[in-house]
Amino acid sequence: MLTTVVGSYPSFPRQPSSIGEKISNCMGSYDAYKSALELAVQDQVKAGVNLISDGQVRGNMLEVFAREIPGMITKDGIPIIIDRIQPAPHSIGASDIKMALKTASKLSSDFSNDLQILSKNKFQDKFKGIKAIITGPTTLALSSRIEGFYSKDEKNEAIIDIASVLKKEAEHLQNAGAAVIQIDEPFLSTGIADLKIAKKAIEIIVNDLHQPTSIHVCGPISEVIDDLLKFKVSIIDCEFADQNKNLEALESINLNGKKMGLGCIDTKTNTVETKEQVASIIKKGIELVGKENLIADPDCGMRLRSREAAYSKLKIMVETVKWLS
């Protein structure tokens, strides 16, 4: 069974300290987040995770996209749509994907094999690679205040325009070496999102991609799982540690050839679970959808956890998966 992360990792930007760093800071080329990214990658590789992320260390999932997309700005961390949404002139995350792959391949040669391609239908247990993460168009639009171009009460047009921008970004990420493209749509379980528009928007992003795609949805899924399974992605990723009613929602589903991302680590607490706790969720998942259809991961991003807890949680997850195989 493959292991992965949802994406974010504790981030510790570092101020320039050496003379060289101070000079590049003056010239505007110093990257305070480079060491945070390297640390996130190192911990994931060391914990033995198959499909790692770049740690999403540069800010929260809304602002990192909203501040780069023409037509959007951020104010106090909140995205605001001020004009017609247009494609960004450059990729938002491709350089971080490249930096993460370079860091990972220095630590383990498993990450440097360019020929390793994750098949959409059968995931090889030993696969090592990187997953790129995009904040979904529905979540981005519904979290934004509209102050220009679009109607305030009708966000569908903005959702579709954001999707066209993210389609280009997904292609950049795929070209940068991402083995999987994940779209985060926490709003889809809240009851306020229009799932038909959300599905259409996801299709715009994934239609021409050749790599497997995933959608991550937080919260309770019993009301939405049947709709999510109709989305045109390879993996549906949800929370099962903190949301154990979600396991019941898997009892009568038809996977339609998709894989299930099984959140089996609670990401709301620093308390590290025991192997037995993790195993009980994975065993239930195996019973309900079959081992060959599961990928194990934490419930959600780990940005708010301590580094020690985040690392220990990943390690116990990987050890439990090995223990059960």
Binding mask 220-249 for Zn ion (x = CB under 5 A): ------------------------------
Nearer to Zn ion, 88 or 250 (CB): 250
Per rule CB under 5 A, count of chain residues that contact Zn ion? 2
Among 61, 134, 202, 300, binds Zn ion (CB under 5 A): 300
Contacting range for Zn ion; rule: CB under 5 A; set: 8-16, 80-88, 279-287, 293-301:
293-301
Nearer to Zn ion, 99 or 218 (CB): 218
- The count of residues in the chain is 325
Beta-bridge partner residues of 294: 260
Burial of 314 (0-12, 13-18, 19+ CB in 10 A): buried
Nearer to Zn ion, 85 or 133 (CB): 133
Do 4 and 297 contact (CB within 8 A), yes or no? yes
Closest by CA to 3, choosing from 322, 306, 323, is: 322
289 is a contact residue toward Zn ion (CB under 5 A): no
Binding mask 180-219 for Zn ion (x = CB under 5 A): --------------------------------------x-
Burial of 48 (0-12, 13-18, 19+ CB in 10 A): middle
Do 49 and 5 contact (CB within 8 A), yes or no? yes
**Consecutive H or E run containing 131:** strand 129-135
**Consecutive H or E run containing 309:** helix 307-324
Nearer to Zn ion, 51 or 81 (CB): 51
Nearer to Zn ion, 103 or 189 (CB): 189
CA 77 to chain centre: 19
The region, left, alpha or beta by phi > 0 then psi within -120 to 50, assigned to residue 233 is: beta
Do 128 and 65 contact (CB within 8 A), yes or no? no
Please state the closest distance from residue 51 (CB atom) to Zn ion, in A.
16
Closest by CA to 249, choosing from 265, 257, 238, 234, is: 238
Tokens 């992360």 belong to 5
Nearer to Zn ion, 49 or 300 (CB): 300
Nearer to Zn ion, 259 or 303 (CB): 303
Please state the closest distance from residue 114 (CB atom) to Zn ion, in A.
30
Q: If DSSP codes are grouped into helix, strand and coil, which group holds residue 74?
A: strand
Contacting range for Zn ion; rule: CB under 5 A; set: 29-37, 120-128, 196-204, 295-303:
295-303
Contacting range for Zn ion; rule: CB under 5 A; set: 33-41, 161-169, 170-178, 299-307:
299-307
Contacting range for Zn ion; rule: CB under 5 A; set: 12-20, 78-86, 135-143, 292-300:
292-300
Please state the closest distance from residue 214 (CB atom) to Zn ion, in A.
12
Interface residues with Zn ion (CB under 5 A) are 218, 300
